[in-house]
Structure 1
Amino acid sequence: MTCPICSEDTAPEYRPFCSRRCADIDLARWMNGAYSVPSQREEEGDVVDDEGPLPH
């Protein structure tokens, strides 16, 4: 398996990365929003359900 950041061989202690540096780079990308998961939800103006709260 190769590191998804630099394509070097992975190290067992940092798998799936090769080093702490590449693991930190990946974490920073997640925290800065470079990676994102698409959503079907609208960010503003979400549709409000007129039927009231959901039953428990």
Structure 2
Amino acid sequence: MSTVSTDRAAPALTGSLGTGSIVFMVVAAAAPLTVVSGTVPLSRWATEPPSPPRS
């Protein structure tokens, strides 16, 4: 068997993360939390039996 060696260096990071990219990542991370915070109370309201009125 022969081995092939490549002497390529990994590409350097350029630091091109701009404001738009950061805003996009924050909004993308917050979207699932928004769905859960809206869906969980709605599903609990729809599935739990109503409680008797408190006097």
Using the size of structure 2 for normalisation, the TM-score is 0.32
CA radius of gyration, larger in: 2
Higher relative contact order (CA 8 A, sep 6+): 1
Higher helix share: 2
